[in-house]
Amino acid sequence: MPTCLIADDEPLLRDSLEELLAELWPELAVVARARNGRTAIQQFEALAPDVCFLDVRMPGLSGIEAAKSMSGRAQLVFITAYDHYAVEAFTQGAIDYLVKPVQPDRLADTIRRLKSRLTTSPPTFQHSLLQSLTGQPTQSPPPSRLGWLRASSGNTIRLISMSSVDYLLAAEKYTNVGWRDDEGRSQVSVIRIPIKELIDRLDPEQFVQAHRAVIVALRAIRVIIKGDNETAQIHLVGRTEVLPVSRRYAHHFRQM
């Protein structure tokens, strides 16, 4: 059974989050509650919870400062009333952000990601996020693998798991993401990150570059049809899109 710590200096909000967690994730045991960062650290060291919900602004030690002591040992989710902090968190993909007051549907998304993280990946804390919130420089770690992509459309923010992504296609300063929803239906969303900034953060065993404007998930390839001059076309499983393979990247596919 996974365990959890909730740290928030507002008792009503802390209790409200605990009630929502009990409803949406009944298997999760809330084993610790704290009103400040110092108490949160003490309880964390004593109980070693799997997940920590940390308010960004608390008296004494803040949630960010408390997270330094928990980094790499738990899955961390920040809670804040200031939604401008969320942008970097979503971009990094390795940590989630809940904006007060916490909404049930948003928390449900967080719970799905946490359940996946607890079984498939080690906990991490994004140093770039830490720097953006504290204004203090930190040692830059190696680029972390992307777990999620953040796509915005109007007032809607969608988090897309990399495990559901079929391809990435450059579109000027943006990138089109071909992905599948929970029912397996083909979808396309737009993210505000150039494709050249994504390639180094993708798992090379799962994704390969086919063209300067195309990255494809290996599992999504149905067939590769060779053309003239060492070029080719990629046809995808269950999709109508056809992706080009340029001569520069053709060597990635010669053994397939």
pLDDT tens for each residue of 157-176:
788 889 999 999 998 888 99
Cβ atoms 7, 58 nearer than 8 A: yes
Which ranges in the chain are annotated with CATH 3.40.50.2300? 3-134
Q: Is the predicted pLDDT of residue 115 greater than 50, yes or no?
A: yes
Highest mean pLDDT among 43-52, 112-121, 135-144: 43-52
Give every CB contact of residue 245 below 8 A, 6+ residues apart in sequence: 210, 211, 214, 224, 231, 232, 233, 234, 253
Question: At how many degrees (to 10) do helices 11-24 and 104-120 cross?
Answer: 70
Q: CA-to-CA distance for 196 and 15, rounded, in angstroms?
A: 44
CA 49, CA 4: separation in Å to the nearest integer?
A: 5
Q: Between these two residues, 58 and 20, which has the higher pLDDT value?
A: 20
- The Cα–Cα gap between 198 and 115 comes to 25
Average pLDDT score over residue span 87-114: 73
Go through 58-94 and write b for each residue having 16 or more CB atoms within 10 A of its CB, e for each that does not: beebbbbbbbeebeebbbbbbbbeeeebbebbbbbbb
Q: What is the pLDDT of residue 83?
A: 55
Using DSSP's 3-state secondary structure scheme, residue 144 falls into coil
Average of per-residue pLDDT values in the chain: 83
Q: What architecture is domain 3-134?
A: 3-Layer(aba) Sandwich (3.40)
Distance CA 8, CA 57 (A): 8
**pLDDT at position 128, please?**
47
pLDDT tier for residue 120 given thresholds of 50, 70 and 90: low
pLDDT above 60 (res 137): no
Instruction: Please determine, for residue 102, whether its predicted confidence score (pLDDT) is greater than 80.
Output: yes
**Reported CATH class of domain 148-253:** mainly beta
CATH 2.40.50.1020 region(s) of the chain? 148-253
**Mean pLDDT value of segment 116-137:** 56
Question: What tens digit of pLDDT does each residue of 222-250 get?
Answer: 999 998 788 999 999 999 999 999 999 99
The neighbour count for residue 202, using CB atoms within 10 Å, is 19
d(CA 41, CA 58): 13
Give residue 125's pLDDT.
Answer: 47
Give the per-residue pLDDT at 156: 75
Pairing state between β 51-55 and 75-80: parallel
Tell me phi and psi for residue 245, to 5 degrees.
Answer: -115, 120
Q: Residue 29: pLDDT band by 50, 70, 90 thresholds?
A: very high
* 4-15 mean pLDDT: 94
Band the pLDDT of 150: cuts 50, 70, 90.
confident
Higher pLDDT pick, 142 / 200: 200
